[in-house]
DNA sequence: CCTCATACCGACCATACGGTATGTTTTCCG
DNA sequence: CGGAAAACATACCGTATGGTCGGTATGAGG
């Protein structure tokens, strides 16, 4: 039962507008530094509407984390890295995709739940758990492909598919921290290159030769973005 | 020209007390969620003293980042991972040391500058730069050992010592994010195990066999903490 | 001992904050 | 068409916030 607002009838209902505003502002400034008034202003909504949809600022934080989980799930489900028939190639294509979507403005490529959870992990358990669900839920989507790749190649190791899936997320999060600190997205890309190298070493697959004429290695990054080069 | 305070003369001067309080509180709650009053209360200092030493809350943030850089530099310089004669063993011992100092209370093992920089990277460039100096300065202390290890083993690669040094920090930061999200320090230890595995694969050194009777692999983690087992 | 800069104290201020109370408008449904 | 419920708007409240200001205590140098 949503309804266009009186002030900005063209921008959809107030709730989703508040959530998208929350994603943008919190990623840029953090949760605590983003005030309810800021959110209302950005969403073109009054304070009354805010507290009609969310019982508190913390409730907005929880909802924003869930909203983030939903939108990113849809985004990655539609991404082209699922195309290769070989599961290992899909995993490598995932890493290449993550690398490709690191934009020049780090805030844009930043992760809402990764930013929030560091701030609130001790003070707001509800938000923390919602962030955890987003991060580990996304990691879980990689687990099947990693596991299948292990089976395909008969790999028995002291690490599990779930553990490596989590490690991809750890590297992504750490890459963003360094990129923000150094104010340079290349730092994040560098980290993801190391992740790519690690996975290739685990599975003993060669990296592509950059200037090579022939095909000497696996190149799942070719379909990283799904866009024509 | 420091001086014991009237209220708590036994706890050193107000400035350092404020800085240590800042490290504790900001790591737990984040920068924005930590008020000046909170800091003064924790440090046992009045507001007047605060703004005598720091022109603004932002200035405190910058000073806290520098303070963090100094204390961690001293801490890691005194750590036992520098002992092995082989530079690669020193690098592996560093990773083992980082793993060993992950305590059960994640907040204690958390990184001040990693937490702060995510919050303020866009809104407070001065704090961001101070955090960057701490992170990349620490990474730089690993560069010589990594470079020497590469030379020793005649490794020519598409990655540099500086890049791998930064990657260790990316993994550490990401490990902390996941540990906070999952409220489980084991997640951080898991990430550092992956980092250990990555470095061993890069340098083609075997991992130790956990239950093995003989010594079949390199075990720099034996001196991880420098404490008797 | 006197002086002076500095360290520290404690009361105060303007404002921005999260949250509430109440009113108005739209939509659904019988 | 009527009415109830939900969506949104507006004015307001108590408090916590970053920051200021005048004052006092302490140590160093002469």
In terms of domains, do A219 and A108 share one?
Answer: yes
Residue A77 lies in a domain: yes
- DSSP code for B206: P
Q: Are the C-beta atoms of B168 and B94 separated by less than 8 Å?
A: yes
Give contacts of B 63-122 with A, CB under 8 A: 106-107, 113-115, 117-122
- Listed residue (A161, A218, A171, A169) closest to A195, CA to CA: A171
Residue B3 lies in a domain: no
Structure tokens at A97: 């995709």
Q: How far is the CA of B37 from the C1' of D17 (A)?
A: 9
- Non-local (6+) Cβ contacts of A3 within 8 A are A13
Question: pLDDT at position B208, please?
Answer: 74
Sites in chain B below the pLDDT cut of 70: 1-11, 209-229
In terms of domains, do A53 and A160 share one?
Answer: no
State whether B177 and A180 contact (CB < 8 Å).
no
> Taking 70 as the threshold, does the pLDDT of residue A189 lie above it?
yes
Share of chain A above pLDDT 70, in %: 86
State whether B118 and A30 contact (CB < 8 Å).
yes
Chain A's closest residue to B182, CA to CA, is: A132
Q: How many domains does chain A have?
A: 2
**Considering CB atoms only, which of A30, A114, A176 is closest to B32?**
A30
In terms of domains, do A88 and A179 share one?
Answer: yes
Q: Does A46 touch chain B (CB under 8 A)?
A: no
Structure tokens at B211: 């239950």
In terms of domains, do A69 and A165 share one?
Answer: yes
How far away is chain A from the Cα of B13, in angstroms, using its nearest Cα?
29
Chain C bases closer than 7 A to any CB of the protein: 6-12, 16-23, 25-28
Residue B59 lies in a domain: no
Task: Estimate the share of chain A in helix, then strand, then coil, as percent rounded to the nearest 5.
Answer: 70, 0, 30
- Non-local (6+) Cβ contacts of B41 within 8 A are none
State whether A191 and B170 contact (CB < 8 Å).
yes
Q: Does B167 touch chain A (CB under 8 A)?
A: yes
Give the number of other CB atoms < 10 A from CB of residue A220. 23
Q: How many CA atoms lie within 13 A of A163 on its CB side?
A: 17
Question: pLDDT at position B229, please?
Answer: 36
pLDDT tens readout for residues A89-110: 999 999 999 999 999 999 999 9
In terms of domains, do B46 and B93 share one?
Answer: no
In terms of domains, do A86 and A44 share one?
Answer: no
Q: A77: domain range?
A: 62-223
Residue B205 lies in a domain: yes
Residue A3 lies in a domain: no
Instruction: Work out whether the CA dihedral B151, B152, B158, B163 comes out positive or negative.
Output: negative
Mutate to test the interface with A, among B122, B124, B131, B205 (most CBs of A within 10 A): B122
Closest residue to D28 (CA, C1′) = B1
In terms of domains, do A94 and A133 share one?
Answer: yes
Cα distance between residue A129 and residue B94, in whole Å = 31
In terms of domains, do B81 and B35 share one?
Answer: no
- Compute the C-alpha angle B133/B137/B142, nearest 5°: 160
Q: How far is the CA of A199 from the C1' of C13 (A)?
A: 59
In terms of domains, do B24 and B106 share one?
Answer: no
> Taking 90 as the threshold, does the pLDDT of residue A11 lie above it?
no
Chain A's closest residue to B191, CA to CA, is: A167
pLDDT tens readout for residues A152-171: 999 999 999 999 999 999 99
Q: Are the C-beta atoms of B193 and B99 separated by less than 8 Å?
A: yes
* CATH assignment at residue B47: 1.10.10.60
State whether A183 and B28 contact (CB < 8 Å).
no
In terms of domains, do B182 and B142 share one?
Answer: yes
**Considering CB atoms only, which of A30, A181, A201 is closest to B30?**
A30
How far away is chain A from the Cα of B125, in angstroms, using its nearest Cα?
9
Structure tokens at A106: 């780090």
Nucleotide nearest B46, from its CA to each C1': C9
- Non-local (6+) Cβ contacts of B171 within 8 A are A170, A171, A174, B191, B192, B194, B195
Question: pLDDT at position B7, please?
Answer: 60
Chain A's closest residue to B114, CA to CA, is: A177
Alpha-carbon distances, residue B229 vs B76, B79, B196 (angstroms): 20, 16, 21
Residue B38 lies in a domain: yes
* CATH assignment at residue A120: 1.10.357.10
């Amino acid at each position: 039962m949503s309804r266009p607002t009186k002030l900005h009838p063209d921008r959809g209902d107030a709730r989703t507008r508040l959530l998208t505003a929350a994603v943008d502002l919190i990623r840029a400034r953090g949760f605590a530094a983003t005030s309810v008034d800021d959110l209302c202003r950005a969403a073109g909504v009054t304070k009354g509407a805010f507290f009609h949809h969310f019982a508190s600022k913390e409730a907005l934080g929880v909802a924003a984390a869930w909203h983030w989980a939903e939108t990113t799930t849809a985004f990655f489900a539609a991404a082209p890295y699922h195309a290769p028939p070989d599961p290992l190639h899909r995993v490598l294509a995932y890493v290449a995709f993550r690398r490709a979507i690191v934009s020049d403005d780090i805030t844009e490529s930043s992760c809402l739940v990764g930013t929030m959870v560091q701030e609130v992990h001790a003070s707001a358990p509800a938000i923390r758990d919602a962030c955890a669900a987003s991060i580990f839920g996304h990691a879980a989507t990689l687990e099947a492909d990693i596991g299948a790749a292990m089976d395909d190649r008969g790999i028995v190791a002291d690490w599990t598919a779930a553990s490596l899936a989590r490690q991809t997320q750890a590297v992504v999060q750490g890459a963003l921290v360094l990129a923000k600190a150094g104010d340079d997205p290349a730092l994040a890309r560098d980290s993801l290159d190391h992740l790519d190298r690690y996975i290739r070493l685990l599975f003993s697959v060669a990296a592509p030769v950059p200037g090579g004429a022939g095909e000497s290695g696996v190149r799942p990054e070719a379909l990283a973005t799904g866009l024509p080069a």
